[in-house]
A and B are shown apart, each in its own frame.
Chain A
């Protein structure tokens, strides 16, 4: 995320910088001041240069290399000196997108699983986070403590948190089976959570558990900005709590939600740590998320060309989704503002 904020602020400051320069320039004399003017115009760019170079180095160069790799046949025979790897044109893409062949079919399956998982996870994270934030809006004893408690899953290191879930989901000694089967007798026999079809549920539970505190935090911050008077006026007009939420809270949260949903979507879609720690290198089919799938396609099978091609496809998909999403939501907001 830091890139995003970075870019916004840096570009914005360049903008204002230029404007200030222009405002000052009419008063300045010509001739000898010219160099001064160049210096003044150049200064913001000079200041930007280190950030720009680092940005290039850290983000763009590896990205371009990744894209170049996707056009090469980069298998174990060439990784030592991958300049010698033969160009393969669009072969890697053809293999990835041929849905009748096993590789493409598996990628499509993984993609669909990821889409379903992301929609459910983001939806639940948002719902739980918003509900909790709304309920915690009124002051009551222990509110601070509860707020802090709610944020714990978000603050825990991912590995430590997820490995704890692995222990809880274990078939023989896991807490989940102990409660569901031994205590509550909800299932006929202990279920498997880390293999087979239930793994999707396990993954979803962990993902929501890990993700909703972020939604809670952001929505809570958004709620602080809604003027109290609105609620008071609504109460006077006889609006109940549900109506207040529908007519005041949700519309006021719209800009916050717009960003929140997008960020949650991107994070969840690309999440690698959770499935990797839960299931290891070979995820069960029902929970075969695309990030682990691509990892397996490149690292485990040593075919980095195909792995890169899949990554580029994923990148294109996310760009399109994000673009369409921004287009739709900002158009919607404009009409709402009018």
Chain B
């Protein structure tokens, strides 16, 4: 009996232990085909306030597509927390959707897997040519010099959202243009008992987006031109320190925000507890939380000095969603047609209006729907002062490693431990060591 029990326990142990590991997955080398020309599966990212909202926005458009082409599109809206894992699983198994949304910062990493259809000149021809798209959006579709892994679908940019009432109460006439002004305004706002600026200190992606922009403002990049991680240069250290110092030294970000990761800072802003928020295309989100558009103003994200522009004056990443075709699709022609439909001028207007984003298609951008003051700020930022995150295969690892470093620095600041140039450098050094060496 004892040996039986030992065997049983052994089996249990093995199964429990391996439950944590990544098992399974077949492989499918076969490329795409046109075996099932009448159906498509589409994974959409969650752009609206909820998945239900997305279904309401997208379904009528998919019906329109079916009427035009006779192809039925099966829609699935995938939450952000699952999307990348789902794509990875689809990539490993070869069983996935035909068309899918990807966060544009993942483009280069996913391109490296070879799972997505490359958009060469021939494929671009089928959807009306590469020139239809805005350059800044095309800059976030894969490694430079390679055929893009996806085409831009929605474009977004960071902006400074400010509560008009709190600004008026504190006697601030106009939104801050530089970081020094923001810190000075912060003192007046704190005096009125409101918190100043929101941040998502435990959200790795948010941390990355901000330190990337601060890096640009310090003239520093996180990767060398040949794609090697370079996290410990003086510029990068200064950039990360400046962002964390907004909490540690300047006291404009409340210490409680160090543990925020579920968009609590957006709620704080919508509830009128907090004067400012740095966010990408927040209008639809704020509206769904009950903050009407006349309660807040929208301005470009501050810079070190002067006005936003290129080089050191960059004040946003190029945020957005790309549309990709899964190489293993059984309906490649249909998938291409669907991409053409979704990036057509008319659909671009409908979809980007619904999601308060900016169309990456030049002709659609000219539409009057995108000339409101808030959209004008976003459009201007995208056109003049936004920069794409590094388009390198290790981008996803970079987000994890450096994002975690910034999270830990925020935790230090929140606990009242000093954040010094040395402590920032040490954390970044550790992050760099975690990057793949091959």
Contacts and interface: CB of A to CB of B under 8 A. Distances in A.
Interface of A: 1, 3-5, 7-8, 11-12, 59, 62-63, 65-66, 69, 73, 75-77, 79-83, 101-103, 106, 170-172, 192, 194-197, 262, 266-267, 270, 272, 280-282, 284-285, 290-291, 294-296, 298-304, 307-308, 310-312, 314-315, 318-319, 322-323, 326, 330
B6 A326 contact: yes
Given A8-B5, A270-B17, A195 B258 contact: yes
A195 B259 contact: yes
Given A3-B11, A4-B11, A322-B9, A298 B17 contact: no
B191 interface: no
Contacts of A266: 12-13, 16
Instruction: From B8, B16, B92, B109, name the one whose CB has the most chain A CB atoms within 10 angstroms.
Output: B16
A280 B260 CA distance: 11
B2 A4 contact: no
B19 interface: yes
B219 to A, nearest CB: 28
A270 B19 contact: yes
A244 B243 CA distance: 63
B248 to A, nearest CB: 14
Nearest to A262: B9
A77 B191 CA distance: 54
5 contacts: A11-B4, A11-B7, A82-B27, A171-B255, A311-B21
B302 interface: no
Contact of A192 (B2, B414, B436): B414
Interface stretch (B182-190, B285-293, B379-387, B400-408): B400-408
B20 A76 contact: no
Given A82-B25, A280-B202, A301 B14 contact: no
Nearest to B116: A80
A172 B8 CA distance: 48
A172 B198 CA distance: 14
A83 B27 CA distance: 7
A3 B113 CA distance: 36
Contacts of A285: 408
B23 A65 contact: yes
Nearest to B261: A280
B306 interface: no
B433 interface: yes
Contacts of A103: 433-434
Given A11-B4, A270-B19, A303-B436, 4 more contacts: A63-B23, A171-B256, A195-B411, A282-B404
B173 interface: no
B256 to A, nearest CB: 4
Instruction: From B15, B401, B438, name the one whose CB has the most chain A CB atoms within 10 angstroms.
Output: B15
B74 to A, nearest CB: 23
Closest CB pairs A-B (n = 4) = A311-B21, A62-B23, A102-B433, A315-B17
Contact of A65 (B24, B401, B411): B24
B14 A80 contact: no
Contact of A282 (B11, B18, B25, B403): B403
A213 to B, nearest CB: 20
Contacts of B414: 171, 192, 195-196
Contacts of A272: 19-20
A294 B25 contact: no
A330 B400 CA distance: 46
B430 interface: yes
Contacts of B27: 80-83
Given A12-B4, A79-B113, A322-B10, A63 B15 contact: yes
B318 to A, nearest CB: 22
B377 to A, nearest CB: 30
A3 B12 CA distance: 6
B21 A308 contact: yes
B51 interface: no
Given A83-B27, A282-B404, A101 B397 contact: no
B396 interface: yes
B28 interface: yes
A83 B30 CA distance: 13
A315 B14 contact: yes
A75 B16 CA distance: 24
Contacts of A11: 4, 7-8
Contacts of B258: 171, 192, 195
Contact of B400 (A79, A301, A312): A301
A45 B33 CA distance: 45
A272 B396 CA distance: 22
A77 B397 CA distance: 13
A5 to B, nearest CB: 8
Contacts of A302: 88, 109, 396-397
A17 B34 CA distance: 55
B159 interface: no
